[in-house]
Protein backbone atom coordinates (compact mmCIF):
# COMPACT_ATOMS: atom_id res chain seq x y z
CA UNK A 1 0.00 0.00 0.00
CA UNK A 2 2.09 2.94 -1.25
CA UNK A 3 1.95 6.01 0.97
CA UNK A 4 2.60 9.35 -0.72
CA UNK A 5 3.46 12.61 0.99
CA UNK A 6 3.72 16.01 -0.69
CA UNK A 7 4.22 19.57 0.47
CA UNK A 8 0.81 20.38 -1.03
CA UNK A 9 -2.16 18.16 -1.96
CA UNK A 10 -5.52 19.17 -3.44
CA UNK A 11 -8.08 17.65 -1.07
CA UNK A 12 -11.68 18.44 -0.17
CA UNK A 13 -11.83 21.50 -2.42
CA UNK A 14 -8.77 23.19 -0.97
CA UNK A 15 -4.98 23.04 -1.02
CA UNK A 16 -3.62 21.21 2.05
CA UNK A 17 -0.04 21.95 3.09
CA UNK A 18 1.31 19.29 3.57
CA UNK A 19 -0.86 16.32 2.67
CA UNK A 20 -0.78 12.59 2.08
CA UNK A 21 -2.43 9.86 -0.01
CA UNK A 22 -2.47 6.10 0.49
CA UNK A 23 -3.03 3.84 -2.52
CA UNK A 24 -4.03 0.17 -2.69
CA UNK A 25 -5.34 -1.98 -5.53
CA UNK A 26 -5.48 0.96 -7.90
CA UNK A 27 -7.63 3.11 -5.62
CA UNK A 28 -7.19 5.73 -2.97
CA UNK A 29 -7.55 4.06 0.43
CA UNK A 30 -6.87 7.09 2.56
CA UNK A 31 -5.89 10.76 2.29
CA UNK A 32 -5.59 13.76 4.53
CA UNK A 33 -3.79 16.94 5.43
CA UNK A 34 -0.84 17.19 7.77
CA UNK A 35 1.68 14.43 8.43
CA UNK A 36 1.03 10.98 6.93
CA UNK A 37 0.09 8.08 9.23
CA UNK A 38 3.43 6.37 8.65
CA UNK A 39 6.73 6.62 6.79
CA UNK A 40 5.98 7.62 3.18
CA UNK A 41 7.06 5.42 0.28
CA UNK A 42 7.26 8.45 -2.03
CA UNK A 43 7.86 12.00 -0.91
CA UNK A 44 7.42 15.04 -3.17
CA UNK A 45 9.02 18.11 -1.68
CA UNK A 46 8.06 21.51 -3.07
CA UNK A 47 5.38 19.83 -5.20
CA UNK A 48 1.59 19.87 -5.53
CA UNK A 49 -0.42 16.68 -6.04
CA UNK A 50 -3.73 17.09 -7.88
CA UNK A 51 -6.31 14.71 -9.35
CA UNK A 52 -5.55 13.43 -12.83
CA UNK A 53 -6.78 15.83 -15.49
CA UNK A 54 -9.94 14.99 -17.43
CA UNK A 55 -10.06 16.33 -20.98
CA UNK A 56 -13.61 16.09 -22.30
CA UNK A 57 -12.79 17.46 -25.75
CA UNK A 58 -9.58 16.47 -27.55
CA UNK A 59 -8.85 15.27 -31.09
CA UNK A 60 -5.25 14.10 -30.79
CA UNK A 61 -1.70 15.05 -29.89
CA UNK A 62 1.94 14.10 -30.24
CA UNK A 63 1.47 13.76 -34.00
CA UNK A 64 -1.38 11.24 -33.61
CA UNK A 65 -5.11 11.65 -34.17
CA UNK A 66 -8.08 9.87 -32.62
CA UNK A 67 -9.38 9.56 -36.16
CA UNK A 68 -6.57 7.12 -36.92
CA UNK A 69 -7.39 3.73 -35.39
CA UNK A 70 -3.76 2.64 -35.41
CA UNK A 71 -2.57 5.63 -33.37
CA UNK A 72 -5.31 6.13 -30.77
CA UNK A 73 -3.04 4.82 -28.02
CA UNK A 74 -0.21 7.12 -29.12
CA UNK A 75 -2.39 10.22 -28.80
CA UNK A 76 -3.67 9.12 -25.39
CA UNK A 77 -0.12 8.40 -24.19
CA UNK A 78 1.06 11.84 -25.26
CA UNK A 79 -1.64 13.59 -23.25
CA UNK A 80 -1.13 11.24 -20.30
CA UNK A 81 2.46 12.50 -20.06
CA UNK A 82 0.93 15.95 -19.63
CA UNK A 83 -1.33 14.78 -16.80
CA UNK A 84 -4.51 13.74 -18.66
CA UNK A 85 -5.55 10.47 -17.04
CA UNK A 86 -9.11 10.45 -18.45
CA UNK A 87 -9.64 11.23 -22.14
CA UNK A 88 -12.87 11.79 -24.03
CA UNK A 89 -11.68 11.24 -27.59
CA UNK A 90 -13.34 13.59 -30.07
CA UNK A 91 -14.25 12.91 -33.69
CA UNK A 92 -14.84 15.67 -36.23
CA UNK A 93 -17.36 15.80 -39.04
CA UNK A 94 -16.99 13.00 -41.56
CA UNK A 95 -19.02 11.00 -44.07
CA UNK A 96 -21.47 8.47 -42.60
CA UNK A 97 -19.11 5.58 -43.34
CA UNK A 98 -16.03 7.31 -41.92
CA UNK A 99 -17.97 8.43 -38.86
CA UNK A 100 -19.14 4.91 -38.03
CA UNK A 101 -15.65 3.50 -38.59
CA UNK A 102 -14.20 6.11 -36.23
CA UNK A 103 -16.83 5.39 -33.60
CA UNK A 104 -16.19 1.64 -33.76
CA UNK A 105 -12.42 2.10 -33.41
CA UNK A 106 -12.82 4.39 -30.41
CA UNK A 107 -15.42 2.07 -28.87
CA UNK A 108 -12.77 -0.66 -29.01
CA UNK A 109 -10.26 1.70 -27.40
CA UNK A 110 -12.80 2.53 -24.70
CA UNK A 111 -13.31 -1.14 -23.87
CA UNK A 112 -9.53 -1.54 -23.73
CA UNK A 113 -9.28 1.34 -21.24
CA UNK A 114 -7.17 3.52 -23.54
CA UNK A 115 -9.77 6.30 -23.59
CA UNK A 116 -12.84 6.83 -21.42
CA UNK A 117 -15.34 7.33 -24.22
CA UNK A 118 -16.24 9.10 -27.42
CA UNK A 119 -17.29 12.68 -28.15
CA UNK A 120 -18.92 13.31 -31.51
CA UNK A 121 -18.28 16.89 -32.57
CA UNK A 122 -20.37 16.85 -35.70
CA UNK A 123 -21.56 16.21 -38.32
CA UNK A 124 -24.79 17.92 -37.18
CA UNK A 125 -23.34 21.42 -37.02
CA UNK A 126 -24.06 24.86 -38.47
CA UNK A 127 -22.59 25.58 -41.89
CA UNK A 128 -22.22 29.23 -40.85
CA UNK A 129 -20.28 28.27 -37.71
CA UNK A 130 -18.50 25.12 -38.81
CA UNK A 131 -14.99 26.37 -38.03
CA UNK A 132 -12.46 23.75 -39.10
CA UNK A 133 -15.07 21.11 -39.92
CA UNK A 134 -15.59 19.87 -43.48
CA UNK A 135 -18.59 21.93 -44.64
CA UNK A 136 -19.35 19.47 -47.43
CA UNK A 137 -20.14 16.75 -44.88
CA UNK A 138 -22.40 18.75 -42.57
CA UNK A 139 -25.95 17.41 -42.42
CA UNK A 140 -29.17 17.33 -40.42
CA UNK A 141 -29.47 14.58 -37.82
CA UNK A 142 -31.82 11.77 -38.75
CA UNK A 143 -33.28 9.07 -36.55
CA UNK A 144 -31.54 6.43 -38.67
CA UNK A 145 -28.07 7.97 -38.35
CA UNK A 146 -28.50 8.62 -34.63
CA UNK A 147 -29.44 4.97 -34.12
CA UNK A 148 -26.50 3.85 -36.28
CA UNK A 149 -23.90 5.78 -34.29
CA UNK A 150 -25.38 4.64 -30.98
CA UNK A 151 -25.23 1.05 -32.15
CA UNK A 152 -21.66 1.44 -33.39
CA UNK A 153 -20.63 3.01 -30.09
CA UNK A 154 -22.20 0.22 -28.02
CA UNK A 155 -22.31 2.47 -24.97
CA UNK A 156 -18.99 4.22 -25.58
CA UNK A 157 -20.45 7.50 -26.86
CA UNK A 158 -20.49 9.88 -23.89
CA UNK A 159 -21.13 13.25 -25.54
CA UNK A 160 -22.43 14.71 -28.79
CA UNK A 161 -22.09 18.31 -29.97
CA UNK A 162 -24.81 19.57 -32.30
CA UNK A 163 -26.40 22.78 -33.55
CA UNK A 164 -29.96 22.91 -32.19
CA UNK A 165 -31.26 25.03 -35.07
CA UNK A 166 -30.73 22.21 -37.57
CA UNK A 167 -33.79 20.30 -38.74
CA UNK A 168 -34.18 17.10 -36.74
CA UNK A 169 -32.20 18.35 -33.74
CA UNK A 170 -35.16 18.24 -31.36
CA UNK A 171 -35.64 14.53 -31.92
CA UNK A 172 -31.87 13.94 -31.87
CA UNK A 173 -31.43 15.67 -28.51
CA UNK A 174 -34.23 13.57 -27.02
CA UNK A 175 -32.86 10.34 -28.48
CA UNK A 176 -29.32 10.96 -27.27
CA UNK A 177 -30.47 12.09 -23.83
CA UNK A 178 -32.67 8.99 -23.51
CA UNK A 179 -29.61 6.88 -24.37
CA UNK A 180 -27.61 8.50 -21.56
CA UNK A 181 -25.44 10.58 -23.90
CA UNK A 182 -24.54 14.12 -22.84
CA UNK A 183 -25.78 16.63 -25.41
CA UNK A 184 -23.71 19.76 -25.99
CA UNK A 185 -24.67 22.90 -27.91
CA UNK A 186 -21.88 24.09 -30.20
CA UNK A 187 -20.81 25.11 -33.69
CA UNK A 188 -24.15 26.80 -33.83
CA UNK A 189 -25.90 29.88 -35.16
CA UNK A 190 -28.77 29.38 -32.71
CA UNK A 191 -30.32 32.38 -31.01
CA UNK A 192 -31.04 32.78 -27.31
CA UNK A 193 -34.48 31.14 -27.42
CA UNK A 194 -33.35 28.22 -29.58
CA UNK A 195 -30.52 27.53 -27.15
CA UNK A 196 -32.87 27.70 -24.16
CA UNK A 197 -35.15 25.23 -25.91
CA UNK A 198 -32.24 22.84 -26.48
CA UNK A 199 -31.41 23.04 -22.77
CA UNK A 200 -35.03 22.37 -21.88
CA UNK A 201 -34.91 19.28 -24.10
CA UNK A 202 -31.85 17.96 -22.27
CA UNK A 203 -28.66 19.69 -23.47
CA UNK A 204 -26.31 20.21 -20.52
CA UNK A 205 -22.98 21.39 -22.02
CA UNK A 206 -21.82 24.36 -24.06
CA UNK A 207 -19.03 23.35 -26.46
CA UNK A 208 -16.00 25.69 -26.30
CA UNK A 209 -17.94 28.75 -25.15
CA UNK A 210 -17.67 31.81 -27.45
CA UNK A 211 -15.92 29.87 -30.21
CA UNK A 212 -18.01 28.86 -33.24
CA UNK A 213 -21.15 30.58 -31.97
CA UNK A 214 -22.62 34.12 -32.14
CA UNK A 215 -21.03 36.61 -29.77
CA UNK A 216 -22.85 37.98 -26.76
CA UNK A 217 -24.83 41.08 -27.79
CA UNK A 218 -27.02 43.36 -25.68
CA UNK A 219 -29.99 43.18 -28.07
CA UNK A 220 -29.40 39.61 -29.26
CA UNK A 221 -27.80 37.68 -26.39
CA UNK A 222 -27.52 34.47 -28.40
CA UNK A 223 -26.36 31.10 -27.08
CA UNK A 224 -23.65 32.45 -24.76
CA UNK A 225 -26.06 34.00 -22.27
CA UNK A 226 -28.48 31.07 -22.46
CA UNK A 227 -25.65 28.66 -21.60
CA UNK A 228 -24.13 30.81 -18.86
CA UNK A 229 -27.35 31.63 -17.05
CA UNK A 230 -28.59 28.06 -16.63
CA UNK A 231 -27.20 26.44 -13.46
CA UNK A 232 -27.54 22.96 -14.95
CA UNK A 233 -25.19 23.71 -17.88
CA UNK A 234 -21.43 23.16 -17.86
CA UNK A 235 -19.47 25.36 -20.27
CA UNK A 236 -16.25 24.27 -21.92
CA UNK A 237 -13.51 26.91 -22.21
CA UNK A 238 -10.25 26.67 -24.18
CA UNK A 239 -8.02 28.72 -21.89
CA UNK A 240 -4.96 28.65 -24.15
CA UNK A 241 -4.74 32.43 -24.58
CA UNK A 242 -5.66 32.06 -28.25
CA UNK A 243 -9.31 31.02 -28.32
CA UNK A 244 -10.48 33.20 -25.41
CA UNK A 245 -8.80 36.22 -23.84
CA UNK A 246 -7.61 35.46 -20.27
CA UNK A 247 -9.72 38.34 -18.94
CA UNK A 248 -12.81 36.75 -20.49
CA UNK A 249 -11.88 33.36 -19.04
CA UNK A 250 -11.71 34.98 -15.62
CA UNK A 251 -15.08 36.66 -16.18
CA UNK A 252 -16.70 33.35 -17.11
CA UNK A 253 -15.28 31.67 -14.02
CA UNK A 254 -16.61 34.45 -11.82
CA UNK A 255 -20.01 34.36 -13.52
CA UNK A 256 -20.56 30.60 -13.61
CA UNK A 257 -18.18 29.40 -10.90
CA UNK A 258 -15.47 26.73 -11.29
CA UNK A 259 -18.02 23.98 -10.68
CA UNK A 260 -19.63 24.85 -14.03
CA UNK A 261 -16.51 25.60 -16.10
CA UNK A 262 -14.58 22.73 -17.69
CA UNK A 263 -11.21 23.52 -19.21
CA UNK A 264 -10.60 21.63 -22.45
CA UNK A 265 -7.70 21.48 -24.88
CA UNK A 266 -9.57 20.83 -28.16
CA UNK A 267 -6.07 19.69 -29.12
CA UNK A 268 -5.30 18.27 -32.55
CA UNK A 269 -2.49 15.97 -33.65
CA UNK A 270 -0.12 18.96 -33.82
CA UNK A 271 -0.08 19.35 -30.03
CA UNK A 272 3.48 18.80 -28.85
CA UNK A 273 4.86 18.99 -32.39
CA UNK A 274 6.68 21.57 -34.47
CA UNK A 275 4.94 24.15 -36.63
CA UNK A 276 3.94 22.85 -40.02
CA UNK A 277 1.14 21.27 -42.04
CA UNK A 278 -1.36 18.88 -40.45
CA UNK A 279 -4.92 17.65 -41.01
CA UNK A 280 -8.04 17.74 -38.88
CA UNK A 281 -10.17 15.09 -40.50
CA UNK A 282 -10.21 16.02 -44.18
CA UNK A 283 -9.36 19.68 -43.53
CA UNK A 284 -5.75 20.88 -44.06
CA UNK A 285 -4.33 22.83 -41.13
CA UNK A 286 -1.28 25.08 -40.81
CA UNK A 287 0.39 25.60 -37.44
CA UNK A 288 2.41 28.76 -37.01
CA UNK A 289 3.85 29.89 -33.68
CA UNK A 290 1.84 27.12 -32.05
CA UNK A 291 -1.51 28.37 -33.39
CA UNK A 292 -3.46 26.03 -35.67
CA UNK A 293 -5.58 27.52 -38.46
CA UNK A 294 -7.36 26.13 -41.49
CA UNK A 295 -4.87 26.48 -44.33
CA UNK A 296 -4.96 29.86 -46.11
CA UNK A 297 -7.58 31.23 -43.70
CA UNK A 298 -7.75 32.94 -40.32
CA UNK A 299 -10.06 30.24 -38.90
CA UNK A 300 -8.68 28.61 -35.75
CA UNK A 301 -8.52 24.82 -36.08
CA UNK A 302 -8.43 23.35 -32.60
CA UNK A 303 -5.41 23.93 -30.40
CA UNK A 304 -1.92 22.69 -29.63
CA UNK A 305 -2.52 22.92 -25.88
CA UNK A 306 -2.20 20.32 -23.16
CA UNK A 307 -4.14 20.17 -19.91
CA UNK A 308 -1.14 21.06 -17.74
CA UNK A 309 -0.71 24.26 -19.76
CA UNK A 310 -4.37 25.16 -19.19
CA UNK A 311 -4.01 24.38 -15.48
CA UNK A 312 -1.09 26.78 -15.23
CA UNK A 313 -3.07 29.48 -17.02
CA UNK A 314 -6.10 29.08 -14.76
CA UNK A 315 -3.93 29.09 -11.65
CA UNK A 316 -2.92 32.67 -12.49
CA UNK A 317 -6.52 33.92 -12.46
CA UNK A 318 -7.40 35.46 -9.13
CA UNK A 319 -5.75 37.40 -6.33
CA UNK A 320 -5.62 34.47 -3.88
CA UNK A 321 -3.07 31.90 -5.15
CA UNK A 322 -4.46 28.92 -3.24
CA UNK A 323 -8.05 29.77 -4.19
CA UNK A 324 -6.99 30.02 -7.85
CA UNK A 325 -5.20 26.66 -7.57
CA UNK A 326 -8.25 25.03 -6.01
CA UNK A 327 -10.46 26.43 -8.78
CA UNK A 328 -8.05 25.17 -11.45
CA UNK A 329 -8.19 21.72 -9.86
CA UNK A 330 -11.99 21.62 -10.08
CA UNK A 331 -12.10 22.90 -13.67
CA UNK A 332 -9.64 20.24 -14.86
CA UNK A 333 -11.02 17.28 -12.89
CA UNK A 334 -14.23 17.33 -10.84
CA UNK A 335 -16.22 19.58 -13.15
CA UNK A 336 -15.64 17.61 -16.38
CA UNK A 337 -16.18 14.34 -14.48
CA UNK A 338 -19.55 15.53 -13.25
CA UNK A 339 -20.54 16.95 -16.66
CA UNK A 340 -19.85 13.59 -18.30
CA UNK A 341 -21.41 11.49 -15.56
CA UNK A 342 -18.11 9.78 -14.76
CA UNK A 343 -17.93 8.17 -11.33
CA UNK A 344 -14.90 7.43 -9.17
CA UNK A 345 -12.62 9.93 -10.91
CA UNK A 346 -12.05 13.67 -10.72
CA UNK A 347 -10.95 14.00 -7.09
CA UNK A 348 -8.49 12.67 -4.55
CA UNK A 349 -10.98 10.90 -2.30
CA UNK A 350 -11.31 7.56 -0.53
CA UNK A 351 -12.49 4.88 -2.96
CA UNK A 352 -11.72 6.91 -6.09
CA UNK A 353 -9.32 5.73 -8.79
CA UNK A 354 -5.72 6.46 -7.91
CA UNK A 355 -5.27 8.88 -10.81
CA UNK A 356 -3.04 11.77 -9.82
CA UNK A 357 -0.56 14.28 -11.16
CA UNK A 358 2.50 15.65 -9.37
CA UNK A 359 3.35 19.24 -10.29
CA UNK A 360 6.54 21.11 -9.39
CA UNK A 361 6.65 24.66 -8.12
CA UNK A 362 6.22 25.97 -11.69
CA UNK A 363 3.19 23.65 -12.02
CA UNK A 364 4.92 21.44 -14.55
CA UNK A 365 4.29 17.70 -14.56
CA UNK A 366 6.92 15.63 -12.78
CA UNK A 367 5.00 12.37 -12.29
CA UNK A 368 1.67 10.82 -13.29
CA UNK A 369 -0.16 7.91 -11.63
CA UNK A 370 -2.98 6.09 -13.44
CA UNK A 371 -4.95 3.43 -11.58
CA UNK A 372 -2.25 3.19 -8.93
CA UNK A 373 0.62 2.78 -11.39
CA UNK A 374 3.27 5.40 -12.07
CA UNK A 375 3.45 6.12 -15.79
What is the C-alpha end-to-end distance of the chain, expressed in Å? Answer: 17
Mean pLDDT computed over 284-305: 96
133 labelled binding-site residue? no
Measure the CA–CA gap between 138 and 246, rounded to whole angstroms. Answer: 32
220 labelled binding-site residue? no
Letter string b/e over residues 145-165, b meaning 16 or more CB atoms within 10 A of that residue's CB: bbeebbebbeebbbbbbbbbb
Task: Provide the greatest CA pair distance for the chain.
Answer: 62
Would you state the pLDDT for residue 288?
Answer: 97
Would you state the pLDDT for residue 20?
Answer: 98
DSSP 127: S
301 labelled binding-site residue? yes
pTM of structure: 0.97
Q: Exactly one of 240, 266, 308, 355 is catalytic; which is it?
A: 266
Among candidate residues 311, 313, 285, the one with its CA nearest the CA of residue 299: 285
The answer for residues whose C-beta is within 8 angstroms of residue 300's C-beta and 6 or more apart is 131, 132, 211, 242, 243, 291, 292, 293
pLDDT higher than threshold 80 for residue 239: yes
Would you state the pLDDT for residue 296?
Answer: 95
Assign domain 53-344 to its CATH architecture: Alpha-Beta Barrel (3.20)
Would you state the pLDDT for residue 175?
Answer: 98
pLDDT tens, 91-149? Answer: 999 999 999 999 999 999 999 999 999 999 999 999 999 999 999 999 999 999 999 99
pLDDT higher than threshold 90 for residue 1: no
Question: For residue 286, with 0-12 CB atoms within 10 Å meaning exposed, 13-18 middle and 19 or more buried, which class applies?
Answer: middle
pLDDT higher than threshold 90 for residue 318: no
pLDDT tens, 57-72? Answer: 999 999 999 999 999 9
Task: Residues 3-49+357-374: name the CATH superfamily.
Answer: Urease, subunit C, domain 1 (2.30.40.10)
pLDDT tens, 11-51? Answer: 999 999 999 999 999 999 999 999 999 999 999 999 999 99
pLDDT higher than threshold 90 for residue 226: yes
Letter string b/e over residues 92-101, b meaning 16 or more CB atoms within 10 A of that residue's CB: bbbeeebbbb
362 labelled binding-site residue? no
What are the residue ranges of helices labelled H in the chain? Answer: 72-81, 96-111, 143-153, 169-178, 192-201, 222-229, 246-256, 307-314, 321-332, 334-340
55 is known as an active-site residue: no
pLDDT tens, 162-189? Answer: 999 999 999 999 999 999 999 999 999 9
- Give SS3 for 291: strand
Query: Where along the chain do the CATH 3.20.20.140 domains lie?
Result: 53-344
Among candidate residues 159, 90, 96, the one with its CA nearest the CA of residue 123: 96
The answer for residues whose C-beta is within 8 angstroms of residue 238's C-beta and 6 or more apart is 208, 211, 244, 263, 264, 265, 266, 303, 305, 310
Contact criterion met (CB below 8 Å) for 146 and 103 = no
Mean pLDDT computed over 271-300: 96
pLDDT above 70 coverage of the chain, percent:
100
186 labelled binding-site residue? no
Query: Where along the chain do the CATH 2.30.40.10 domains lie?
Result: 3-49+357-374
Measure the CA–CA gap between 12 and 132, rounded to whole angstroms. Answer: 39
Question: For residue 30, with 0-12 CB atoms within 10 Å meaning exposed, 13-18 middle and 19 or more buried, which class applies?
Answer: middle
DSSP 275: S
Amino acid sequence: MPLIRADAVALHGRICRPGWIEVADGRIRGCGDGAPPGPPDREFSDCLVVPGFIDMHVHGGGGASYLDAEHIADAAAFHRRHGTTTTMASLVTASPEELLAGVRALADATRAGIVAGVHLEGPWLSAARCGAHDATQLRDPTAAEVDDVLAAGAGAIRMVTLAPERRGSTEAIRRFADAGVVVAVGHTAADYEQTRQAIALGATVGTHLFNAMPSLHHRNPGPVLALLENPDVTVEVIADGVHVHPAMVGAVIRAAGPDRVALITDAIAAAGCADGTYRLGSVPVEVEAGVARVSSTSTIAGSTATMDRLFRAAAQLGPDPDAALAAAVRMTSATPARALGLHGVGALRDGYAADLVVLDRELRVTAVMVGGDWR
